[in-house]
Amino acid sequence: MATRPDQPASSEIEAAQPQAAVPDALTRWLGRLGYVGASAVLVATAVLLALGAHAAFAALSGETYSLRFAAEIAAVMFAVATPIVLYAQRVIRQLDSSRRVLKRMTERLAVAVDSAERANVAKSQFLANMSHELRTPLNAIIGFSDLIQAETFGPVGNARYIEYLKDISKSGHHLLGIVNGILDLSKIEAGRASVQDEEEFNVAAVLDASLRMMRPLADREKIALELAVEARGLRLVAVERMVCQILLNLLSNAVKFTPAGGRVALSAVRTPEGGLLVAVADTGLGMTPAEVKIALTPFGQVQSAQGRKHLGTGLGLPLAKAMMELHGGSLRVASAPGQGTTVSLLFPPERVAIRADAGEAREAAPQQNAGDPARRVA
């Protein structure tokens, strides 16, 4: 089993243990003697060292070697060294057994993390494959219902059939949106998504286009839409389709969860470090910190005080977060109940460029109301 960089290897755990002053070979040899044997050897060594020191002192100072005094030294040394050695042995054994327990726990934990990761990848791959398989028949259902609705090969006859076909097409589109969301999220989770087809594009133009798509819905809900882009000619290196989808997911949430008469503002500023900060701020229902956590998990939806009356599957926000992280950026949610929500997207400096010739950028151009929340921009 491979050791991941964020998890300590068992050798690191061993290295982190207090190192014994005695060499390893001696420690191993003493260990083999057992508790009593090792203690006896250590006490005997202490007594012999004391006797040796006494003999050496007597020889150097020219005094006569006293056997009686040596016996007294041996007795005192035995009395002092025995409890110390026994206690030290006990502590060392306890440390040793804790180290073994810690090592076993780390190994078990590593196995558990490894299998959880495998299970997660398998789940994501299964979802990605399933979603892919579901899209083909769904596209046929949508395509043929649209074709019959248009009476391409002749009249349908009964007007009620046309109504039913509209329902089939609408449900098909709704289901396709969900399947696409699951497919995108599971692809990112399985590490199969990339930003290979990234390109450089004008930030203001993309923000403007997203707002325009939201206009009909915001109009219907009587919500004002505002746009403020700080720098002219600000350009981003990213997958444009994903950036559009992130913006639409956030804007559709802002409109969905803001009561009539409210305001949704989309802004873009350069950070002091040279990154790009895009924010979608609304004056809507808002969330508590615990609800924000729920909102950021796949399929997580918050039961607002007014009860759930909004459609959706709970994939928009986690998908936007995953796509931002795929770009090396981040998504943060600041929200308070009754005060509104601000979702901030931070793109790193290496993805941001300024072109003096870019004339399409608009500066602080307030817009009134924008359009349809397409789930996915192909």
Ligand X SMILES: Nc1ncnc2c1ncn2[C@@H]1O[C@H](COP(=O)(O)OP(=O)(O)OP(=O)(O)O)[C@@H](O)[C@H]1O
What is the contact surface with ligand X in residues (CB under 6 A)? 181, 249, 253-254, 257, 282, 284-287, 295, 300-302, 312-318, 341
Q: Which amino acid is at 282?
A: D
Q: Which is nearer to ligand X, 245 or 369 (CB)?
A: 245
DSSP string, 165-187: HHHHHHHHHHHHHHHHHHHHHHH
- Minimum distance from residue 295 beta carbon to Mg ion (Å): 9
Tell me which residue has tokens 């403020």: 228
Shortest distance in whole angstroms from residue 157 CB to ligand X: 36
Residue 225 binding partner per list ligand X, Mg ion, none, with a CB distance cut-off of 5 to 8 Å that depends on partner kind: none
Residue (286 or 316) nearer to Mg ion, CB: 316
Asked if residue 249 lies in contact with residue 316, where contact means CB atoms within 8 angstroms, the answer is yes
Amino acid letter, residue 87? Y
Length of the chain: 378
Which one-letter amino acid corresponds to residue 311?
L
Q: Which is nearer to Mg ion, 38 or 343 (CB)?
A: 343
What does the alpha-carbon distance between residue 255 and residue 236 come to, in Å, rounded to a whole number? 25
Check if the beta carbon of residue 246 is closer than 8 Å to that of residue 324. Answer: yes
Q: Is the CB of 169 or the CB of 245 nearer to Mg ion? A: 245
275 binds, among ligand X, Mg ion, none (CB under 5 to 8 A by kind): none
Q: Out of 39, 253, 283, 342, which residue is the one contacting Mg ion (CB under 5 A)?
A: 253
- Choose from ligand X, Mg ion, none: what does 371 bind? Cβ within 5-8 Å by kind: none
Six token digits for residue 2: 């491979």
Site for Mg ion in 294-353 (CB under 5 A): 316
Cα separation, 366 vs 218, whole angstroms: 14
Which one, 254 or 276, has the nearer CB to ligand X?
254
Q: Which of 131, 39, 149, 147 is nearest to 84 (CA)?
A: 39
Residue 249 CB, nearest approach to Mg ion (Å): 5
Angle between helices 240-256 and 203-221 (to 10 degrees): 30
Tokens of 60: 């150097």
Q: Which is nearer to ligand X, 169 or 341 (CB)?
A: 341
| Cβ atoms 237, 198 nearer than 8 A | yes
Considering only CA atoms, give the Rg of the chain: 36
From the list 105-113, 253-261, 267-275, 278-286, the region that binds Mg ion by CB under 5 A is 253-261
**Closest separation between CB of residue 190 and Mg ion, Å?**
22
Stretch that binds Mg ion, among 181-189, 250-258, 269-277, 370-378 (CB under 5 A): 250-258
Q: Select 181 or 371, whichever has its Cβ closest to ligand X.
A: 181
81's contact among ligand X, Mg ion, none, with CB below 5 to 8 A by partner kind, is: none
Count residues binding Mg ion (CB under 5 A): 2
> For residue 22, what are the contacts with CB-CB under 8 A and spacing of at least 6?
30
- Give the whole-angstrom CA distance, residue 334 versus residue 319: 18
Does position 181 bind Mg ion by CB under 5 A? no
Stretch that binds Mg ion, among 106-114, 252-260, 336-344, 366-374 (CB under 5 A): 252-260
Residues that bind Mg ion (CB under 5 A): 253, 316
